[in-house]
């Protein structure tokens, strides 16, 4: 009489390990692809945000006959009742609000707020006034997650030009956006397709001191010398090691966290050091008030930054773009003539007379 042999159904240990290994390999292959797809979507959104700002700039020009100034507003800094005004530091973003579907906010600020307890145009641009402490998604790059609080925040910044000599307060800057002076299309002699209007900057808000080896895209190194006379702006490169600030560097970060303040460190950039390079300032001012500065546009996109051209087109500018002789003396503000900082400097000037090729 034969006996039947029963067999247990299931996987052996070896088979199970093989399956786990295959799954692990698939995950390792798929995760980078998913991350790349997500970053591609974020880059597309960032590019679209700049396109909308380009439309806003041109719509503003159509209405007012000029582009908005980077910094303006009331200039008395009056301490009388009901409150101090915006001290001439209101950023150009407020003027663009009606053209990016934020007309109610613009009207509210123009009226001195819902309670009417502020001057027309609002208080100091750095104030945390609740009526303008809002998040505006169109001013934020989705790739920038370094600063969680997005109220009164911006990732997009105005082109000041290729000079380190007081870009904070100068009116006749070599770029597109200065202090209390507006540029017309007719002033862009180099051509609107060859001149940058806006770009990006990573948001940051920290004071000087121990920099904890932060990424160079976040902050600005203090202690540079001679920037007031334009001497050797390339010295910013000496404050870094790799893609982080050197341990000895005294660094602060003030970009993009006070949207309504028109200071250069809040909403501006220069075209001297190439994109994603280091920024530096003369002196040791801990706020966003350094006078003589070199401010490179920065992003968390790999390889460069988006730039809005004055004609409304958006281009991706590589961080390896030709920047000429960074040891050359920076031009004075308002000076005509070509930039010493290569193609990058030429893209920042509105009337430098340079011939800009492919970039």
**Higher pLDDT, residue 275 or 9:** 275
Rounded distance, CA 305 to CA 237, Å? 18
Rounded distance, CA 113 to CA 106, Å? 10
> What integer pLDDT is reported at residue 6 of this predicted model?
53
Picking from 222, 170, 158, the residue whose alpha carbon sits closest to that of residue 196 is 158
Indicate the length of the chain as a whole number.
359
In the beta sheet, which residues pair with residue 240? 245
> What integer pLDDT is reported at residue 331 of this predicted model?
97
Share of the chain above pLDDT 70, in %: 94
Mean pLDDT over the full length of the chain: 92
Cβ-Cβ contacts under 8 Å for 107 (sequence gap 6 or more): none
Does the pLDDT at position 2 exceed 80? no
Report how far apart, in Å, the C-alpha atoms of 154 and of each of 83, 139, 262 are.
Answer: 26, 5, 12
Q: Which domain holds residue 45?
A: 41-348
In the beta sheet, which residues pair with residue 295? none
> What integer pLDDT is reported at residue 355 of this predicted model?
86
32: in domain: no
> What integer pLDDT is reported at residue 35 of this predicted model?
66
Tens digit of pLDDT for each residue in 196-222?
A: 999 999 999 999 986 778 999 999 999
Neighbours of 134 (CB within 10 A): 14
18: in domain: no
Phi, psi of 182 (to 5 degrees): -105, 145
> What integer pLDDT is reported at residue 145 of this predicted model?
81
355: in domain: no
**Higher pLDDT, residue 19 or 3:** 19
Picking from 341, 310, 312, 307, the residue whose alpha carbon sits closest to that of residue 324 is 341
17: in domain: no
| pTM listed for this prediction | 0.90
**Both tokens of residue 317?**
């500018």
31: in domain: no
> What integer pLDDT is reported at residue 75 of this predicted model?
75
Picking from 115, 59, 108, the residue whose alpha carbon sits closest to that of residue 83 is 115
Tens digit of pLDDT for each residue in 62-116?
A: 999 999 999 999 877 776 656 788 999 999 999 999 999 999 999 999 999 998 8
Q: How many domains does the chain have?
A: 1
> What integer pLDDT is reported at residue 1 of this predicted model?
43
34: in domain: no
Does the pLDDT at position 12 exceed 70? yes
Share of the chain above pLDDT 90, in %: 76
26: in domain: no
Tens digit of pLDDT for each residue in 292-305?
A: 999 999 999 999 99
**Both tokens of residue 131?**
């009526």
150: in domain: yes
């Amino acid at each position: 009489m034969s006996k039947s042999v029963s067999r247990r159904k299931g996987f052996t240990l070896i088979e199970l390990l093989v399956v786990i290994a295959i799954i692990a390999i698939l995950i390792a292959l798929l995760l980078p692809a998913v991350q790349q797809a997500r970053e591609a979507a974020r880059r597309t959104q960032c590019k679209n945000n700049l396109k909308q700002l380009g439309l806003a700039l041109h719509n503003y020009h159509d209405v007012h006959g000029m582009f908005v100034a980077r910094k303006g507003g009331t200039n008395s800094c009056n301490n009388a009742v009901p409150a101090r005004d915006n001290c001439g530091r209101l950023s150009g973003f407020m003027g663009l609000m009606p053209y990016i579907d934020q007309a109610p906010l613009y009207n509210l600020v123009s009226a001195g707020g819902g309670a009417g307890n502020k001057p027309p145009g609002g208080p100091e641009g750095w104030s945390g006034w609740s009526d303008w402490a809002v998040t505006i998604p169109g001013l934020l790059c989705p790739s920038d997650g370094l600063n969680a609080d997005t109220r009164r925040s911006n990732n997009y910044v105005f082109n000041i030009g290729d000079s380190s000599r007081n870009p904070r307060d100068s009116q006749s800057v070599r770029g597109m956006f200065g202090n209390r002076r507006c540029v017309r299309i007719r002033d862009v002699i180099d051509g609107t397709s060859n001149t940058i209007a806006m770009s990006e900057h990573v948001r940051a808000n920290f004071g000087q001191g121990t920099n904890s080896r932060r990424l160079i895209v976040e902050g600005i190194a203090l202690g540079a010398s001679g920037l007031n006379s334009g001497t050797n702006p390339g010295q910013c490169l000496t404050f870094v090691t790799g893609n982080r600030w050197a341990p000895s560097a005294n660094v602060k970060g003030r970009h993009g966290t006070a949207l309504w303040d028109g200071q250069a460190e809040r909403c501006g950039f220069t075209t001297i050091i190439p994109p994603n390079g280091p920024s530096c300032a003369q002196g040791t001012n801990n706020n966003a008030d350094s006078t003589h500065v070199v401010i490179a546009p920065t992003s968390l996109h790999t390889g460069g930054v988006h730039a809005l051209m004055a004609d409304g087109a958006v281009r991706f500018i590589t961080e390896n773009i030709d920047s000429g002789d960074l040891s050359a003396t920076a031009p004075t503000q308002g000076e005509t003539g070509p930039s010493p900082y290569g193609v990058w400097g030429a893209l920042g000037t509105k009337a430098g007379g340079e011939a800009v090729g492919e970039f």
